[in-house]
């Protein structure tokens, strides 16, 4: 039995929120969207702290790599803003992509940053000096999302051409293409042990792939509309999905069965528009939406 209770709602964004990320510092959340800045919130006080820095266009991705004093924000312009927490200012723009940046992830073991763009490429940057190392031409169309498993030694890219392309994390050599979705792949997440890759797409399906032989294990008609984001609980065998259908669903990561729906239809004070991104903060699930709100849910597992 899983229960969900909304314990806070953070308002202040004047436009849709596309992305959210926990800070390296506990109790801090960053959000970005169609506003003119990246916003910092206190998760202990459930309050607005400040606008971190202004941006010239929409923010589609925020990433705070462990062990580095940086916040990276991927913009619709293709630039990646680098904010340094020690200097409390923007220190650099990573300029390479000329089309929107949709996802940013890091490989801590390699000290590398990966940036995915609408131009179909993924750039690899050195975290130590922020220099460009490589460009991987992944697709002739948009690369929408990145998932990596250092445990499995793989990185996967979800593309607008409906395919998932898997690469070796060590040397970025191509391994295979996973075909199955009938529309753009919007989200990817490796299970914490690296055994499964979970994908979600505009076709409203969630697919579970075996990362050893790349076999499709399960296809779940998970939502009514696009699956925007998938995120595994940090310590328990569950993952959550966010959808354009305004709902959040929590799934069992062992048998892949649905365990909880968070939506207005279920009588919960949930989002009224597309849910775009989810973040686990311990057993709290944070959601952001086109409805301009940040919601914090207390999830109890029993």
Where are the chain's structural domains? 2-301
Report pTM.
0.98
pLDDT of residue 39: 98
| Per-residue pLDDT tens over the stretch 112-121 | 999 999 999 9
Give residue 255's Cα distance to chain centre: 23
Q: Taking residues 212-241, what's their average pLDDT?
A: 98
- What 32-39 contacts at long range (C-beta under 8 Å, 24+ apart), as own/partner pairs, is 32/58, 32/59, 32/60, 32/61, 32/62, 32/73, 33/58, 33/59, 33/288, 33/292, 34/58, 35/59, 38/62, 38/71, 38/73, 38/81, 38/83, 39/12, 39/13
Q: What percent of the chain has pLDDT over 90?
A: 99
pLDDT of residue 86: 97
pLDDT of residue 155: 98
Q: Taking residues 39-53, what's their average pLDDT?
A: 98
Distance CA 290, CA 274 (A): 5
Q: Taking residues 222-234, what's their average pLDDT?
A: 98
Distance CA 239, CA 193 (A): 13
pLDDT of residue 49: 98
pLDDT of residue 95: 97
pLDDT of residue 231: 98
**CATH of 2-301 given 2.130.10.10, 3.90.550.10, 3.40.640.10, 1.10.10.10:** 2.130.10.10
Distance CA 84, CA 81 (A): 10
pLDDT of residue 295: 98
| Per-residue pLDDT tens over the stretch 166-184 | 999 999 999 999 999 999 9
């Amino acid at each position: 039995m899983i229960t969900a209770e909304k314990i806070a709602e953070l308002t202040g964004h004047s436009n849709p929120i596309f992305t959210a990320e926990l800070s390296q510092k506990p109790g801090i959340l960053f959000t970005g969207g169609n506003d003119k800045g990246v916003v910092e919130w206190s998760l202990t006080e459930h309050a607005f702290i400040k606008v971190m820095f202004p941006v010239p266009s929409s923010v589609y991705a925020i990433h705070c790599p462990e062990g580095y004093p940086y916040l990276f924000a991927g913009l619709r312009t293709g630039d990646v803003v680098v904010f340094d927490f020690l200097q409390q200012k923007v220190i650099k723009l990573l300029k390479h992509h000329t089309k929107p940046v949709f996802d940013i992830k890091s490989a801590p073991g390699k000290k590398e940053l990966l940036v995915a763009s609408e131009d179909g490429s993924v750039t690899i940057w050195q975290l130590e000096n922020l220099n460009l190392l490589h460009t991987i031409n992944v697709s002739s169309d948009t690369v929408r999302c990145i998932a990596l498993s250092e445990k499995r030694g793989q990185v996967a890219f979800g593309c607008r051409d409906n395919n998932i392309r898997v690469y070796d994390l060590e040397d970025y050599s191509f391994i295979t293409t996973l075909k199955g979705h009938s529309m753009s792949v919007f989200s990817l997440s490796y299970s914490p042990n690296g055994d499964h890759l979970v994908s979600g797409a505009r076709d409203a399906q969630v697919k579970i792939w075996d990362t050893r032989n790349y076999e499709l294990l399960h296809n779940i008609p998970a939502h009514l509309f696009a699956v925007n984001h998938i995120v595994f609980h940090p310590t328990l065998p569950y993952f959550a999905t966010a959808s354009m259908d305004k709902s959040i669903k929590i799934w069992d990561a062992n048998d892949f069965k649905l365990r909880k729906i968070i939506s207005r239809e279920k009588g919960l004070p949930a989002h009224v528009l597309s849910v775009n991104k989810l973040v686990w903060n311990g057993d709290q699930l944070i959601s952001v939406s086109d409805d301009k709100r940040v919601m914090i849910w207390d999830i109890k597992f029993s």
